[in-house]
Amino acid sequence: MNADQLAKPTIIAVVGASASGKTLFAQTIYDELLPELGEQGISIIKEDSYYRAQDDLPMEERIRTNYDHPNAFEHELLHQHLSDLTAGKAIECPTYCYKTHTRTAETVTINPTKIILIEGIMLLTNEQLRSSFDIKVYMDTPLDICLIRRIKRDTQERGRSIDSITNQYLETVRPMYYQFIEPAKAHADIVITRGGKNRMAIEVLKAKIRQLTYNNN
């Protein structure tokens, strides 16, 4: 094993409200750097993959779960997986289905890489996880914009009705945002405005990742 393979990875966490642009932002950086850094250079993980499996619950109960509380996630497993990747071991990342509200049977193998991008709503609420991140980015998108984008996305991609989106928003998404997500902004190193298409912010992060990759600092 050479020195590069032994080097500790840099873990970059992208957090913020639901539909604030976390996925678009992190995925754009990943897609644009992958051809240059290769599959050994950069990987991407979604916190949503670690939503708890609920196969044991009937659908009526799954619908009532508060998905905007830290306890909805298996953060212990995510922390274990980040430790494994840091130790140079591959992981089997769960996959999640928003329509059935549980995990699917498949897992995705993620190999250790120099840069790990991870994105999700509750990543900074867990102290153990927080301390494993080297760079913490917060997407500071106004909540009304997030709601508009969530309505569009959840009707088109997650099989939701307008009624279910608005009820869930008022009952859990909005109050939990104020309880858990917005206060976590204080832990961020970088705060990003204008969502997942902020080109300058994307270029700044890409430049930092290149510096970490090629200069090792």
What does the binding site for ligand L45E5XJ5 look like in residue numbers (CB under 6 A)? 18-19, 22-23, 48, 51, 67-68, 98, 101, 121, 173
In the complex, the smallest distance separating the C-beta of residue 15 from ligand L45E5XJ5, rounded to whole angstroms, is: 9
Q: Which of residues 133-152 bind ligand ADP (CB under 6 A)?
A: 149
Residue 66 CA: distances (Å) to CA of 58, 141, 170, 197: 15, 22, 12, 29
For residue 24 the two structure tokens come to 């678009």
Among ligand L45E5XJ5, ligand ADP, none, residue 116 binds (CB under 5-8 Å by kind): none
**Burial (CB count within 10 angstroms: exposed 0-12, middle 13-18, buried 19+), residue 74:** middle
Annotated binding-site residue? 20? yes
The verdict on whether residue 17 carries a ligand-binding annotation is yes
Nearer to ligand L45E5XJ5, 115 or 139 (CB): 139
Do 135 and 10 touch, CB atoms closer than 8 A? Answer: yes
CB of 15 to ligand ADP, least distance (A): 9
- Out of 177, 196, 201, 213, the only residue in the binding site for ligand ADP (CB under 6 A) is 196
Could you give the CA distance from residue 101 to residue 67 in angstroms, rounded to a whole number?
9
Which is nearest to 144 in space by CA: 41, 14, 17, 7? 17
- Smallest gap, in angstroms, from Cβ of residue 23 to ligand ADP? 3
Closest contact distance (angstroms) between CB of 52 and ligand ADP is 19
> Quick one: which segment of 11-19, 32-40, 74-82, 162-170 binds ligand ADP (CB under 6 A)?
11-19
Q: Which residues are annotated as a binding site for ATP?
A: 16-23
